[in-house]
Amino acid sequence: MADSTGAQAPKPSSSVKLVLLGEAAVGKSSLVMRFVNNDFQENKEPTIGAAFLTQKCNLPTRTIKFEIWDTAGQERFASLAPMYYRNAQAALVVYDITKASSLTKAQHWVAELQRQASPGIVIALVGNKFDLANPSSSSAAEGEGEEGEEGEGDARKIPAATAKAYADEEALLFFETSAKTGMNVAEVFTAIANAIPETSLKGPRGAAGQSGRQQEESRVNLTGPRDNVGAKEGCAC
Ligand SMILES: Nc1nc2c(ncn2[C@@H]2O[C@H](COP(=O)(O)OP(=O)(O)OP(=O)(O)O)[C@@H](O)[C@H]2O)c(=O)[nH]1
Ligand SMILES: [Mg+2]
């Protein structure tokens, strides 16, 4: 009866290792920054190596602590990727809806994950930069997936239906997002949290004090001064 106060016994908490993969500049770090820090930088510098951040996601019956590996999309870092997706329970494979080649690259990552990552890995295909599309093109023309000319105010090159069809074929979660506006960002992570099978959840790792802080950050191979996430607010899930 007193459930609604939320003052019940703490919910079970589990850590989930999640990796972000995708072509350079599609917005991986921006999605993470939006999710962890509810922030966006217009000119974000490329990730070097990878960045590590955590964020909690509160589901009705449990708390998921995402351990997020944000990899660098530049080709020179591609060989490091297996280190980050090894043992990952979830992956966000990101492309940029305004750049046709980025979906091809995303498909390569999906294939690699299916071949080499943990068998039960939950994969979400994420088409980012939705804010650059003209709203009327969201469900646009399936006919042309080519690199057409940029229309006025509509930079979309990849119809949602094309990517969705591919995601359905491969049994991937699928979202279009905007790290800039925040559209669908929390939804992606919540959907992933919900899709992780109970059986593959590990106990909390270093998640002792769950009540107050919702986020932490540390980085590896840092160069950029501002990949940086100050302390702000918690999971938007
Ligand atoms: N308009 C718009 N720009 C975005 C969005 N997400 C990211 N950007 C911009 O795209 C550029 C690249 O974003 P990043 O988040 O650094 O991309 P990344 O995938 O992490 O790139 P690498 O670290 O090199 O792999 C930055 O200038 C961002 O501000 C978005 O949703 N909309
Ligand atoms: Mg990055």
220 backbone dihedrals φ, ψ, rounded to 5°: -120, 155
Q: Each residue of 83-115: pLDDT tens digit?
A: 999 999 999 999 999 999 999 999 999 999 999
27 inside domain: yes
217 inside domain: no
Is the pLDDT at 26 greater than 60? The verdict is yes
Structure tokens at 32: 């993470």
The overall average pLDDT reported for the chain is 83
Ligand 1 neighbourhood includes 170 CB (under 6 angstroms): no
Question: Domain range spanning residue 126?
Answer: 13-205
210 inside domain: no
Burial class of residue 36 in the structure, from the number of CB atoms within 10 Å of its CB (0-12 exposed, 13-18 middle, 19+ buried): buried
100 inside domain: yes
24 inside domain: yes
CA of 91 to the centre of ligand 2 (A): 15
106 inside domain: yes
Q: Each residue of 163-193: pLDDT tens digit?
A: 999 999 999 999 999 999 999 999 999 999 9
Structural domains of the chain, count: 1
pTM: 0.83
Where residue 64 sits, what CATH number does that domain have? 3.40.50.300
Contact in structure between 31 and 177 (CB atoms under 8 Å): yes
231 inside domain: no
Ligand 1: which of 23, 32, 44 to mutate, most ligand atoms within 8 Å of CB?
A: 44
95 inside domain: yes
